[in-house]
Amino acid sequence: MKRIVSIAALVLALTLILSATALADGFRTLDEIKESGKITIGLFHDKKPFGYVDENGEFQGYDVYLARRLAEDLGVELEIVAVDAPNRIEFLQSFKVDVILANFTYTAERAEQVDFALPYMKVALGVVSPDGALITDVEQLKGKKLIVSKGTTAETFFEQNYPEVQLVKYDSYTDAYLGLLDGRGDALSTDNTEVLAWAIENPGFTVGIESLGSLDTINPAVSKGNETLLSWINEELVKLGEENFFHADYEATLRETYGENADADALVVEGGVV
Partner 1 sequence: MQDLGISILFKGVNFQRLLLGLWVTLRIALITIGISTALGLLFGLLMMSRSRAARGFCRVWLEIVRFMPQLVLLYLVYFGFARLFGWNLEGETSAILVFSFWGTAEMGDLFRGALTSIPRHQRESAAALGLTKAQINRYILLPQTARRLLPQAINLSTRIIKTTALVKMINVTEVLKVGQQIIGQFYREPSVAFWVYATVFLMYFLICWPISLLAGRLETRWSAG
Task: Round to whole Å and give the CA distance between 101 and 263.
Answer: 23
Residue 56 binding partner 1, by CB under 8 A: yes
Q: Which one, 80 or 237, has the nearer CB to partner 1?
A: 80
- The distance of closest approach from Cβ of residue 191 to partner 1 in the complex, given in angstroms and rounded to an integer, is 15
Q: Which one, 90 or 155, has the nearer CB to partner 1?
A: 90
Residue 45 binding partner 1, by CB under 8 A: yes
Q: Answer yes or no: are the C-beta atoms of 209 and 191 closer than 8 Å.
A: no
Q: Which one, 34 or 48, has the nearer CB to partner 1?
A: 48
Half-sphere exposure of 252 (CA within 13 A, CB side): 15
The 46-47 sheet, strands edge to edge = 46-47, 51-53, 59-60
Task: Round to whole Å and give the CA distance between 168 and 147.
Answer: 5
- The distance of closest approach from Cβ of residue 97 to partner 1 in the complex, given in angstroms and rounded to an integer, is 9
Beta bridge partners, 125, equal 191, 212
Task: Round to whole Å and give the CA distance between 150 and 67.
Answer: 35
Q: Answer yes or no: are the C-beta atoms of 28 and 230 closer than 8 Å.
A: no
Among 34, 96, 110, 145, binds partner 1 (CB under 8 A): 96
Q: Which one, 61 or 272, has the nearer CB to partner 1?
A: 61
Binding track, positions 8-27, relative to partner 1; x by CB under 8 A: ---------x--xx-xxx--
Residue 69 binding partner 1, by CB under 8 A: no
Residue 34 binding partner 1, by CB under 8 A: no
Residue 255 binding partner 1, by CB under 8 A: no
Burial degree of 209 (CB within 10 A; 0-12, 13-18, 19+): buried
Question: Which parts of this chain interact with partner 1 (CB under 8 A)?
Answer: 17, 20-21, 23-25, 44-48, 52-57, 81-84, 87, 90-91, 93-96, 201
